[in-house]
């Protein structure tokens, strides 16, 4: 890894997979993998959080929620608050994952409110942005990315990490080429430079997500504005997830 490079970060988004026993087995196998060239955070579903947080205790691997409600408590059936995530052992939370935006109609403004709520409790929001297939075909990719980014950050969180997740690549097996991913990451970093200044934008980690696997990770991470991955399907297999993380240590 080049000495000037931002330390990579890899997130594992387990979505609605695994029971407690699977989670425990995963953590055992994963932690046996030894030292890794990236920061790592797992995003299990809510009922698995205490199991995973306990298994990760005393390690460098972080634990995060897949969503949170902008309010701290109240009559919101089915939702989870920032204090509840912290109480369950989380230090991270996903905000604006495309499956939340599309399955649950989450707006850009709601994503901003969630990211701000996360920070109130010391949770780092991992804000996800990305265009649909139709938006890419209509050549609206940059317009969509800029809208989502500016909305999330206007009067938004001071601390955050960003993930570029083209919707057409999530769970489809169709990965963005390294060139397409780099172009989007570069665009996002340029916008961050306008919003936050050069030094802050250069320090920000921008993760790529969308059908990342051990075969395509090396080439993707070789691009200068990719600082790690948000991994869905392949994060359910400790060996595949470890292989993806290890790819972040090579300068291929």
**Binding stretches for ligand PEP (CB under 6 A):** 13, 165, 170-171, 209-212, 230-234
Cα separation, 101 vs 198, whole angstroms: 30
Instruction: Name which of 77 and 188 has its Cβ closer to ligand PEP.
Output: 188
Indicate which residues carry an active-site annotation: 97, 165
Least distance (Å) between residue 106 CB and ligand PEP = 15
CB-CB contact of 204 with 161 (8 Å): yes
Cα separation, 61 vs 46, whole angstroms: 17
Cα separation, 74 vs 250, whole angstroms: 47
Tokens 């890794």: give the residue: 36
Instruction: Name which of 84 and 216 has its Cβ closer to ligand PEP.
Output: 216
Instruction: Give the residue nearest to ligand PEP (CB).
Output: 232
Instruction: Name which of 113 and 211 has its Cβ closer to ligand PEP.
Output: 211
Instruction: Name which of 69 and 240 has its Cβ closer to ligand PEP.
Output: 240
Cα separation, 237 vs 29, whole angstroms: 9
From the CA atom positions of the chain, what is the Rg in Å? Answer: 17
Least distance (Å) between residue 210 CB and ligand PEP = 5
DSSP letter for 210, please: S
Cα separation, 112 vs 97, whole angstroms: 12
Residue 36: exposure state from Cβ atoms within 10 A (0-12, 13-18, ≥19): middle
Least distance (Å) between residue 42 CB and ligand PEP = 13
Least distance (Å) between residue 13 CB and ligand PEP = 4
CB-CB contact of 121 with 86 (8 Å): yes
Least distance (Å) between residue 220 CB and ligand PEP = 12
Instruction: Name which of 154 and 184 has its Cβ closer to ligand PEP.
Output: 184
């Amino acid at each position: 890894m080049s000495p000037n490079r931002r330390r990579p970060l890899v997130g594992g988004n387990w979505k609605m997979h695994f029971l407690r026993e699977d989670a425990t087995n995963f953590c055992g196998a994963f932690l046996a993998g030894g030292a890794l060239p990236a920061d790592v955070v797992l995003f299990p579903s809510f009922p698995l959080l205490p199991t995973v947080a306990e298994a990760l205790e005393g390690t460098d691997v972080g634990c995060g929620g897949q969503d949170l409600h902008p309010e701290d408590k109240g009559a919101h059936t089915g939702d989870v608050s920032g204090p509840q995530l912290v109480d369950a052992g989380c230090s991270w939370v996903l905000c604006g994952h495309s499956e939340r935006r599309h399955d649950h109609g989450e707006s850009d403004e709601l994503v901003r409110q969630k990211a701000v709520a996360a920070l109130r409790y010391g949770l780092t929001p991992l804000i996800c942005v990305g265009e649909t297939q139709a938006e890419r075909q209509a050549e609206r990719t940059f317009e969509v990315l800029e809208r989502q980014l500016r909305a999330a950050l206007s009067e938004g969180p001071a601390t955050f990490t960003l993930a570029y997740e083209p919707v057409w690549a999530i769970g489809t097996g169709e990965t963005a080429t390294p060139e397409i991913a780099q172009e989007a990451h570069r665009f996002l970093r340029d916008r961050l430079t306008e919003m936050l200044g050069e030094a802050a934008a250069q320090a920000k980690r921008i993760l790529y997500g969308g059908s990342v696997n051990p075969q395509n990770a090396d080439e993707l991470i070789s691009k200068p504005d990719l600082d790690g991955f948000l991994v869905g399907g392949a994060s359910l297999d400790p060996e595949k997830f470890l292989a993806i993380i290890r790819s972040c240590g090579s300068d291929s």
